[in-house]
Structure 1
Amino acid sequence: MLSLKTASLWPLPARLACATLAGALVAALLHAAWLDGMMAAVQAAQGEEGRLRAEYLSAQARASLLPQWRAQQRRAGAELALLEQQLPDQQAMAVLLTDINAAGQSRGLQFSLFKPGAARPQAPYVALPIAIQLRGGYHAMGALLADLACLPRIVTVHELALTLGKDRLLTLDAVLQAYRLPDAAERAAQAALSPKTGTPAAAPAWRPLAAVAPHPYAAAALADPFDALPAAGAPGQRGSVAGPDPRRVREPLESVALPAISMVGSVQKEGRLSALLLAGQRVYRVAVGQYLGPDHGVVTDISEQALQYKELLPDAGGGWRERHGSLSLQKPGDARASAPEATP
């Protein structure tokens, strides 16, 4: 019987057979280890193949949508161009400010304050804040805000506040924001301040603009919410008269100081005499009962030689007092004449 302890004494055939068997076992173990590695590599390759196939199918699906994406790109470009048309350049901003001022005066409102502030670059546009203070009726202010929404340029309203004064007139304080495109220097400054990164930022998803059409002011028939408050200058106090109607829509000549108005003629139609008043470069036709001047001046009488009016002024006691005056016919070469006379 062969023993491993005496393996060196085994016959040569036996030793060769044992060596062959040991080599076969080692080869089998090495082959099994190699097969395990190959199976892991095959599984990894199969996983990579599945991932690449999924990416290919996804890219193929995206490629099929390329015509739709190009159409969206064209629509987005058209909408961007439309929005940029609502942003004036620096030269057109002065026209926009004039339009805002004219919109307030057309509603009979008085601008107590109209102060553009410093431009605020906010890429990709520049915001221009405008502090305003208006005096007038509630519905006239609502109509003005509707007019601002209908302007061809973008104007937004911020920090809006309404207060009722002793003269029964509303005061509106607000900050308007007008927007314009930056000029070359401002674009360079914005590019210098923007963060620089190694990879470009991802483009935001494009969504079509919602169609928003500005609506005209349609609340004029509703009650003025400030009309329920008690009047500051009620009749009955000594030396006081009834205050002005805060709901009245102010007329164009109420935004012009009386010294800047002159009577240049008169015209009679259907037995009624109307005065021709020059304010700036425009001639107005005014009848009895119409208003002029910033102090609620109402025309009381018109003759061929003069126009009589009365104004309402706040007194020290919180009420109102009347002041009468006249505008005489201005002849060629005469100075403009406005002669207010305080009523005792």
Structure 2
Amino acid sequence: MLSLKTASQWPLRVRFACATLAGVLMAALLYLAWLDGLVAAVQVAQGEEARLRAGLLLAQARVGQLPQWRLQQRQAGAELARLEQQLPDQQAMAALLSDINAAGQARGVQFSLFKPGAARPQGHYVALPIAIQLRGGYHAMGALLADLARLPRIVTVHELVLTAGKDRLLTLDAVLHAYRLPDAQERAAQAALAPKPAAPAPVPAALAWQPLVDVDVPPYEAAGFADPFGALPVAQAGQQQGGAAAPDLRRPREALESVAVPAMRMVGSVRQDGRLSALLLAGERVYRVAAGQYLGPDHGRVTQVSEQALEYREVLREPGGGWRERRGSLALQKSGAAARASARQDAPAEEAP
């Protein structure tokens, strides 16, 4: 019987057969290890094939959407160009500030403060804050803000504070933000400070771009609404309440109705086409006012104009809900700045709307 202890004494044929058997077993083990790795590699390749096949199907679907993407790209480019037209360059910013000031004057609102601040770069645009302080009537300020919303340029209003004064006029403190395109130097500075762009995100399968919807800002309609700071309810025009007829609260307000009567001065008169008009100094502007026009926040209406005085009639709200009439006059003044303002009326004066 063969024993491993005497393996060196085994016959040569036996020793050769055992060595052959051991080699075959070693080769079998190595083959099994190689085969296991090959199976794992085949599984990885099959998974990669499935992923690539799904990517191919997705790419084929996107190729079918390419004409639609190109059309939307042209539409987005045209819309971007239209939006950039609402952002003036640095040279056109002065014209925008002039338009804002003119909008306030057209509504009879006085600018007590108009102070542009330092420009603030905001990426693709530059914001210019403008601190303003307005004095006037509530509805006149509402109409002015509606006019700003309808400007061809983008102007937003921030930090609004309304304060009612003893003269029944309101003071509005706010910050306007006007926007413009950056110039070459500002773009270069922003590009130097911008972080390095990250890797591009994968293109989504669905189209996400939608065109912007134009918003039509309606005109400011104060008809039928009372001044909340005056707490005056709406009454029908001509309706008799108490001692006087109620005024027409639905009519359009005129420029001088946002100015308190004590703040006006009569500085002269002018006759045109046989009609005599008074020249009233309100703030830094001179208005030409004829009989029948309105002035002051209390529904004042000019009843008579002479070369020496202007007479008016006001209608005031009583605490009990009725209306009472009050009459007054503005006498001609010729002293100081008023006399100089009257002398300047050799040129045609601006008539209050």
TM value normalised by structure 1? 0.73
How many correspondences in the alignment?
299
Query: Quick one: distance in 1 between partners of 2:223 and 2:155?
Result: 22
Paired letter, 1:309: L
Pick closer, same or farther for the CA change 1:326–1:297 going to 2, 3 Å.
farther
Say whether the 8 Å CA contact 1:264–1:278 is kept in structure 2. no
Q: Does 1:88 align with 2:91?
A: no
Say whether the 8 Å CA contact 2:139–2:222 is kept in structure 1. yes
Cα deviation per residue 1:216-258 (whole Å; 9 max; x = unaligned)? 11343212211228xxxxxxxxxxxxxxx9x893426988x97
Query: Quick one: distance in 2 between partners of 1:90 and 1:163?
Result: 34
Query: Quick one: distance in 2 between partners of 1:72 and 1:152?
Result: 25
The 3-state SS of whatever aligns with 2:219 is: coil
User: Partner residue of 1:309?
Assistant: 310
Q: How does 1:198-217 map to 2 (within 5 A)?
A: 199=198, 206-217=209-220
Say whether the 8 Å CA contact 1:105–1:252 is kept in structure 2. no
Pick closer, same or farther for the CA change 1:13–1:223 going to 2, 3 Å.
same
User: Partner residue of 1:331?
Assistant: none
Say whether the 8 Å CA contact 1:266–1:276 is kept in structure 2. no
Shift of 1:110: 1.7
Q: How does 1:189-338 map to 2 (within 5 A)?
A: 189-195=189-195, 197=196, 199=198, 206-228=209-231, 249-251=253-255, 262-268=268-274, 273-275=275-277, 286-290=289-293, 299=302, 301-303=304-306, 306=307, 308-309=309-310, 324-326=330-332, 335=343
The 3-state SS of whatever aligns with 2:273 is: strand
Say whether the 8 Å CA contact 2:135–2:170 is kept in structure 1. yes
* Worse-matched range after superposition: 68-77 or 13-22: 13-22
Query: Quick one: distance in 2 between partners of 1:105 and 1:29?
Result: 98
Query: Quick one: distance in 2 between partners of 1:4 and 1:120?
Result: 94
Shift of 1:202: 5.4
Query: Quick one: distance in 2 between partners of 1:310 and 1:201?
Result: 75
User: Partner residue of 2:73?
Assistant: 73
User: Partner residue of 2:114?
Assistant: 114
The 3-state SS of whatever aligns with 2:113 is: strand
Say whether the 8 Å CA contact 2:266–2:333 is kept in structure 1. no
Pick closer, same or farther for the CA change 1:3–1:289 going to 2, 3 Å.
same
Shift of 1:175: 0.9
Pick closer, same or farther for the CA change 1:90–1:200 going to 2, 3 Å.
farther
Query: Quick one: distance in 2 between partners of 1:203 and 1:125?
Result: 27
The 3-state SS of whatever aligns with 1:65 is: helix
Shift of 1:99: 1.4
Say whether the 8 Å CA contact 1:265–1:277 is kept in structure 2. no
- Identical positions, percent: 68
The 3-state SS of whatever aligns with 1:108 is: coil
Pick closer, same or farther for the CA change 1:79–1:128 going to 2, 3 Å.
same
User: Partner residue of 1:5?
Assistant: 5
Shift of 1:65: 2.1
Pick closer, same or farther for the CA change 1:74–1:185 going to 2, 3 Å.
same
Shift of 1:156: 0.4
User: Partner residue of 1:314?
Assistant: none
User: Partner residue of 2:42?
Assistant: 42
Cα deviation per residue 1:278-316 (whole Å; 9 max; x = unaligned)? 99xx9976322535799x99755334xx251369xxxxx
Q: Does 1:155 align with 2:155?
A: yes
Q: What are structure 1's unaligned runs of at least 5 residues?
A: 230-244, 312-320, 329-333, 338-344
Q: What are structure 2's unaligned runs of at least 5 residues?
A: 233-246, 313-326, 335-341, 346-353
Pick closer, same or farther for the CA change 1:157–1:129 going to 2, 3 Å.
same
Shift of 1:148: 0.9
Query: Quick one: distance in 1 between partners of 2:199 and 2:311?
Result: 70
TM value normalised by structure 2? 0.72
Pick closer, same or farther for the CA change 1:80–1:220 going to 2, 3 Å.
same
Pick closer, same or farther for the CA change 1:262–1:182 going to 2, 3 Å.
farther
Pick closer, same or farther for the CA change 1:144–1:122 going to 2, 3 Å.
same
Say whether the 8 Å CA contact 2:280–2:286 is kept in structure 1. yes
